[in-house]
């Protein structure tokens, strides 16, 4: 019923969800900064580029997939370019657009960073859950994502073999 207060079970679930949404990014960011010299956002950009055809994505599409503004993304991409992990290239199909491509060094950084990141994700999330809870988490997250992004436009593709 719209406009009514959350029931006690809904309120408990909501408070826990918000706590996870606030704490998990910081924990993952700390691990990546310490072990890889990357922010969680840097890692997300590199991961999207790594999974893309020809490891290249248009800036506007990358902003959509990262739920970022173009100015914020431009700053992150500039840092990645300065570190040799990505490069900006003209879009071959639209002269007004810019593409971002993962470099060989960026790919190496992803390969080197991924095991520690996966270990942190396991430690903070999956090691605490049973296989049945993982299935329920996936189902629940899918339902909420469908509500928030019904067309899937803001979500990067998920490789069934990796996630």
Is 80 exceeded by the pLDDT of residue 163?
Answer: no
Residue whose C-alpha is closest to residue 66's, from 48, 53, 52: 48
Q: What is the pLDDT of residues 6-49, one digit of tens each?
A: 999 999 999 999 999 999 999 999 999 999 999 999 999 999 99
Question: Which pTM does this prediction carry?
Answer: 0.86
Is 80 exceeded by the pLDDT of residue 53?
Answer: yes
Average pLDDT for the chain: 92
With a pLDDT cut of 70, the percent of the chain lying above it is 94
Domain ranges of the chain: 10-124
Measured distance CA(62)–CA(52) in Å, rounded: 10
Q: Which residue has the higher pLDDT, 2 or 111?
A: 111
Q: What is the pLDDT of residue 156?
A: 61
Q: Which residue has the higher pLDDT, 131 or 157?
A: 131
Contacts of 127 by beta carbon, 8 Å cutoff, 6+ apart: none
Residue 161: pLDDT band (50, 70, 90) is very low
Residue 152: pLDDT band (50, 70, 90) is confident
Fold of 10-124: Arc Repressor Mutant, subunit A (1.10.10)
Asked whether the CA dihedral 151, 157, 162, 163 is positive or negative, the reply is negative
């Amino acid at each position: 019923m719209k406009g009514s207060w959350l029931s006690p079970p809904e309120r408990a679930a909501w408070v826990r969800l918000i706590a996870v949404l606030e704490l998990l990014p910081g924990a993952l960011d700390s691990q990546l900064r310490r072990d890889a010299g990357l922010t969680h956002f840097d890692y997300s950009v590199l991961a999207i580029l790594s999974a893309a055809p020809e490891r290249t994505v248009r800036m506007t599409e990358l902003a959509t997939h990262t739920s970022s503004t173009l100015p914020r993304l431009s700053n992150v991409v500039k840092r990645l370019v300065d570190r040799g992990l990505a490069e900006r290239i003209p879009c071959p199909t639209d002269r007004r657009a810019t593409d971002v491509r993962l470099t060989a060094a960026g790919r190496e950084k992803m390969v080197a960073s991924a095991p520690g990141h996966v270990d942190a994700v396991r430690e903070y999330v999956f090691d605490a859950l049973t296989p049945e809870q993982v299935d329920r988490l996936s189902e629940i997250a899918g339902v909420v994502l469908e509500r928030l992004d019904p067309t899937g436009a803001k979500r990067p593709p998920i490789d069934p073999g990796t996630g």
